[in-house]
Amino acid sequence: MSAYTASSRRGFPWLGALVAVMLVFASVTVQVARDRRYPQSQVDDRLLYVRSGEALKRLVLSYDALAADIYWMRAIQHFGGERRSTSTRRYDLLYPLLELTTALDPLFSAAYRFGAIFLSEPFPSGAGRPDLAIRLLQQGIKHDPRWQYFHDVGFIYYWHTGRYSEAADWFQRAAARPGAPYWLTPLAAATLAEGGQRGASRLLWEQLRITSDTEFMRQAAERRLVQLNTLDLIDRIEPYIVRYAEANPYGPLTWERLYAAGVLRGIPLDPTGVPFDLNPWWGTLTVSEKSSLFPMPAEPGPRPPAHP
């Protein structure tokens, strides 16, 4: 009691507190100075200590859902970081991270659905691995056969691999699942009848835009619809240039030459306001790499390899 009274009489230790605050500032200052003089080397943090979902599930005891959330956030950061990267993009940890996430929490639907989008998007805006995206969704179907996963598999077959009969089959299977929306059956039929045609693609994205419950998916669908409109625009302009190129095969085509010849009234821009790239020999138009619409979807016909 007497010790307590004695210490309380001393009052608040202002000097000690001041010293503590000064030491905090000093340590921060030293850190800042050190970091300026000796910039930290860029250590490659693209490392997964545990790759087995089964092993990880055991390690985290009953906290598997929380561990799944942490791996999910890591997957998003990896995807976002690589996508924004100005150096060589590598999405090599994306699938292992998603696989760990879903092994820890097999009912984590966002990990399957968003993960499949991240994986299937063509390189460099995505991993360009529709095969892994389909594998991930098939894992999801094993645990929870909801129609959305079947639809997403069909979607990837349709959009990223151009295998329209498989896409139609998966849309049909999605339509047969409980709670599936009415438009899946006509979509399956349209896919089978006119797979790869812009009309079927537009139907697919329009449905996704209307029915999607996430802003990310809605924005993706809107972007795809703009891309389809851009393809329509190219189809309208390109024949004039190609005809002129065939009739006047005297050296490379330029916008100035086309303007002077009265073929165009100005440099054609895509819907984002970026000029199209002009092939100087054939007169074909493509969306510029500087445009946010790049890369454009492949139309029916030979497709580039999915893997970057």
Partner 1 sequence: MVIAKIAVNVFKESVRDKVLYNLVFFAVLLMAASYLIGQITAGQDVKIMKDLGLAAAAVFGLFIAVFIGIGLVSKEVERRSIYALLSKPIRREELILGKYAGLVLTLVINVAVMAAALYAVLAYYDATVQGMARERWDAPALDPALLKPIAMILVELMLVTAIALFFSTFSSPILAAVLTFGLYVIGHFNADLRNFEQVVESRTAAWIARTLYYVLPNFAPFDIKSDIVHGRPVSLGYMAWTSGYAVLYITLLLVIAILIFSRRDFK
Binding site for partner 1 (CB under 8 A): 58, 61-66, 68-69, 72-73, 76-77, 105, 107-110, 114, 213-216
Beta carbon nearer to partner 1, 143 or 303: 143
Beta carbon nearer to partner 1, 45 or 289: 45
Beta carbon nearer to partner 1, 64 or 238: 64
Residue 285: in which H helix or E strand, if any?
Answer: strand 285-286
Find the distance separating the first CA and the last CA of the chain, reported in whole Å: 75
Place of tokens 């077959």: 157
**Rounded least distance, CB 283 to partner 1, Å:** 42
d(CA 150, CA 243): 45
For residues 221 and 205, is the Cβ–Cβ distance under 8 A? yes
Shortest CA distance to 187 belongs to which of 172, 166, 209, 208? 172
* Number of alpha carbons in the 13 Å side-chain half-sphere of residue 199: 7
**Rounded least distance, CB 214 to partner 1, Å:** 5
Beta carbon nearer to partner 1, 73 or 261: 73
**Rounded least distance, CB 139 to partner 1, Å:** 16
**Rounded least distance, CB 112 to partner 1, Å:** 12
Beta carbon nearer to partner 1, 148 or 191: 148
d(CA 99, CA 80): 18
Beta carbon nearer to partner 1, 113 or 173: 113
Residue 142: in which H helix or E strand, if any?
Answer: helix 130-143
Beta carbon nearer to partner 1, 72 or 171: 72
**Rounded least distance, CB 169 to partner 1, Å:** 27
Structure tokens at 191: 């896919």
**Rounded least distance, CB 114 to partner 1, Å:** 6
Shortest CA distance to 241 belongs to which of 227, 224, 262? 262
For residues 308 and 284, is the Cβ–Cβ distance under 8 A? no
DSSP 125: T
Structure tokens at 6: 């004695």
**Rounded least distance, CB 59 to partner 1, Å:** 10
Beta carbon nearer to partner 1, 64 or 152: 64
293: number of Cβ within 10 Å: 20
**Rounded least distance, CB 61 to partner 1, Å:** 5
Adjacent-strand bridge partners of 269? 275
Evaluate the omega torsion of the peptide bond into residue 124 and state whether it is cis, within 30 degrees of 0.
yes
d(CA 28, CA 34): 10
